[in-house]
C-alpha cells in the first residue's frame, strides 16, 4: 500500500516521543513509511548523506524502496549488506562493518541507518556508538520484535564467547521508523516470537491491553495492519515511558525482563538456536514466572491459567516439551545454574520479575532457589 492510500484510510497518528531531553526522539509507526523514510529523516541530517546497514534477507526485499525514498529526498546513500543471523552480532562482523564504513569515508555528520531486525539494529547501533567516537543512527525495524522492543531504548551491542549482549553501549537512535507493512514478509514463527514481547507489555503493566490482545492477537498475527499498528504503538509507548524513567536500568527498566530469567536459562540450555527462538523462550518464561508467583503466594492461579491459554491459542510454546531431546538428569538444577551464571544475579540471590496479577508486576530480588527448582521440576514432570 502506498502512503497516500494509508492516509486516506486512517488519519496519520502523530509520532510517539521518547522523552530523554536533548537525546529524545520520535517513533513513527504506520503503513507505507519506508517509502516516506527519506522525508522523515531529512530534517535530522547534518549532512545529506547516510549509509544503510542491512542483512542479506532484508536487503533484497526493502532496500530498493528505501533507496528510492532517499533519492526523492535528495539524500546521497550507500549500503552495507551483512549475512543474516545471530552470528552476525560478533566481534568479527563488527570489525568488518567498521572497516567498510570507514572505507566509505564516513564523517561525523554521516548517519547510519539500521534496516532490519534486532541483530542489525544492535550491531549497527553499536558501530554508530563507537565510530569516530559516536555518530548518529536511525532505526528502521523490520521484525515485530525489533519494532516493539529492540529498536527503542538505545541498548546496542554484540555477543561474546562468554555470553549474549555482553559487549555494547547505550546509544539512542535519532528516530525510529516502524513500517508495519514489512511484517508481511516475516516468517510466522518469527512474528509469533515478537508477539510474546507484545504480550509482555500487557502482563507487566496494562491489563486492558492484555484483554485487547486476547481479542485482537489472532488478527494481528494473520496480517491485520490496524491491529499491528495499535499493538506496536501501545508496546512502544510502554517501553518509551520505562526508558524515559530509567534509561540505564538502575530500577524500573528491569520490569522489561519479565519472563526473561527463565527464558535465558532455556536459551542457554538449547544453545540459542532454531530449536527455541528468543520470543518463544520468553513465552515459556512468562508462564513459568506466573507459576512461580502462584507458588510464592503473590498471584492467583486463575491469572496463570489465562496467560497460558492465550499464548497457547496463538501457537506459542508454554511448556518444556521442546526439551524432550535434552538429557533429563539434573535438568532443573542445570537450569537454575544457568540463572545463577546470568548477569542479573546479585549476592547469589535470584532476581525475578513476578506478577501480582495480569497487568501488575514487581521486582523480587530474593526469590528462594528451591521455589524456582520446584516450578521447573513440576513443569518437567509428565
Ligand X SMILES: NC(=O)c1ccc[n+]([C@@H]2O[C@H](COP(=O)([O-])OP(=O)(O)OC[C@H]3O[C@@H](n4cnc5c(N)ncnc54)[C@H](O)[C@@H]3O)[C@@H](O)[C@H]2O)c1
Active site residues: 133, 155, 197, 239, 249, 253, 257, 260, 264, 278
Q: From the CB of 319, what's the least distance to ligand X, in Å?
A: 22
Q: Which of 82, 113, 186, 314 binds ligand X (CB under 6 A)?
A: 186
Which residue, 142 or 270, has its beta carbon nearer to ligand X? 142
Among 113, 119, 175, 286, binds ligand X (CB under 6 A): 119
Cα separation of 286 and 258, whole Å? Answer: 7
Q: What residue number has its CB nearest to ligand X?
A: 118
Beta bridge partners of 167: 158
Q: Cβ 73 to ligand X, closest distance in Å? A: 22
Nearer to ligand X, 113 or 367 (CB): 113
Nearest Cα neighbor of 239 from 18, 7, 72 is 18
Which ranges constitute the DSSP H helices of the chain? 3-9, 37-41, 58-72, 91-103, 118-130, 144-145, 188-205, 207-222, 225-245, 260-270, 278-295, 301-313, 331-341, 369-380
Number of residues that bind ligand X (CB under 6 A): 29
- The DSSP-derived string for 9-53 is HSPPPPPEEE--GGG-EEEEEESS-GGGHHHHHGGG-SSSEEEEE
153 lies in the site for ligand X, by CB under 6 A: yes
Distance CA 282, CA 263 (A): 5
At closest approach, how far in Å is the CB of 183 from ligand X?
Answer: 6
Sign of CA pseudo-dihedral 267, 55, 230, 18:
positive
Q: Which of residues 275-304 bind ligand X (CB under 6 A)?
A: 278
Confirm or reject binding of residue 116 to ligand X (CB under 6 A). Answer: yes
- Extract long-range pairs of 339-345: CB within 8 Å, 24+ residues apart: 339/261, 339/262, 339/264, 339/265, 339/372, 341/268, 342/261, 342/264, 342/265, 343/163, 343/166, 344/254, 344/257, 344/261
**Does 190 sit near ligand X (CB under 6 A)?**
yes
Residue 146, SS3?
helix
Residue 152: CB minimum distance to ligand X, A = 8
Q: Of 171 and 233, which CB lies nearer to ligand X in the complex structure?
A: 171
In the complex, minimum distance from the CB of residue 148 to ligand X, in angstroms, rounded to a whole number: 9
Nearer to ligand X, 165 or 226 (CB): 165
Residues in 155-184 at the binding interface with ligand X, rule: CB under 6 A: 155, 164-165, 182
**According to the binding rule CB under 6 A, does residue 89 interact with ligand X?**
yes
> CB 146 → ligand X: shortest distance, Å?
4
Is 122 a binder of ligand X (CB under 6 A)?
A: yes
31 is a site residue for ligand X (CB under 6 A): no
Where does this chain bind ligand X (CB under 6 A)?
55, 57-58, 61, 84-86, 89, 116-120, 122, 142-143, 145-146, 149-150, 153, 155, 164-165, 182, 185-186, 190, 278
Amino acid at each position: 500500500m502506498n502512503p497516500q492510500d494509508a492516509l486516506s484510510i486512517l488519519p496519520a497518528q502523530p509520532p510517539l516521543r521518547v522523552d530523554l531531553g536533548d537525546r529524545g526522539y520520535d517513533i513513527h509507526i504506520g503503513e507505507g513509511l519506508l517509502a516516506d523514510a527519506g522525508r522523515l529523516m531529512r530534517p535530522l541530517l547534518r549532512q545529506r548523506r547516510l549509509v544503510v546497514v542491512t542483512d542479506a534477507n532484508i536487503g533484497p526485499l526493502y532496500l530498493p524502496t528505501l533507496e528510492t525514498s532517499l533519492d526523492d529526498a535528495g539524500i546521497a546513500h550507500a549500503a552495507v549488506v551483512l549475512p543474516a543471523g545471530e552470528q552476525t552480532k560478533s566481534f568479527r562482523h563488527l570489525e568488518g562493518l567498521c572497516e567498510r564504513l570507514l572505507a566509505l569515508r564516513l564523517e561525523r555528520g554521516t548517519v547510519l541507518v539500521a534496516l532490519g531486525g534486532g541483530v542489525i539494529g544492535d550491531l549497527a547501533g553499536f558501530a554508530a556508538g563507537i565510530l569516530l567516537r559516536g555518530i548518529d543512527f536511525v532505526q528502521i525495524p523490520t521484525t515485530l520484535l525489533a519494532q516493539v522492543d529492540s529498536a527503542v531504548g538505545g541498548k546496542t551491542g554484540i555477543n561474546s564467547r562468554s555470553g549474549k549482549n555482553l559487549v555494547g553501549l547505550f546509544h539512542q537512535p535519532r528516530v525510529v521508523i516502524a513500517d508495519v507493512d514489512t511484517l508481511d514478509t516475516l516468517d510466522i514463527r518469527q512474528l509469533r516470537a515478537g508477539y510474546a514481547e507484545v504480550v509482555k507489555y500487557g502482563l507487566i503493566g496494562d491489563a486492558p491491553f492484555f484483554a485487547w490482545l486476547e481479542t485482537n492477537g489472532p488478527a494481528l498475527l494473520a496480517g491485520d495492519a490496524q491491529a499491528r499498528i495499535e499493538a506496536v504503538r501501545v508496546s512502544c509507548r510502554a517501553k518509551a515511558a520505562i526508558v524515559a524513567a530509567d534509561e540505564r536500568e538502575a530500577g524500573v527498566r528491569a520490569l522489561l525482563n519479565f519472563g526473561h530469567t527463565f527464558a535465558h536459562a532455556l536459551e542457554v540450555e538449547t544453545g540459542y538456536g532454531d530449536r527455541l527462538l528468543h520470543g518463544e523462550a520468553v513465552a515459556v518464561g512468562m508462564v513459568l514466572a506466573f507459576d512461580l508467583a502462584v507458588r510464592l503466594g503473590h498471584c492467583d492461579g486463575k491469572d496463570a491459567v489465562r496467560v497460558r491459554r492465550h499464548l497457547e491459542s496463538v501457537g506459542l510454546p508454554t511448556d518444556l516439551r521442546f526439551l524432550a531431546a535434552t538429557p533429563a538428569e539434573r535438568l532443573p538444577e542445570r537450569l537454575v545454574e544457568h540463572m545463577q551464571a546470568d548477569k542479573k544475579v546479585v549476592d547469589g540471590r535470584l532476581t525475578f520479575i513476578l506478577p501480582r496479577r495480569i497487568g501488575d508486576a514487581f521486582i523480587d530480588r530474593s526469590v528462594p532457589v528451591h521455589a524456582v527448582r520446584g516450578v521447573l521440576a513440576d513443569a518437567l514432570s509428565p
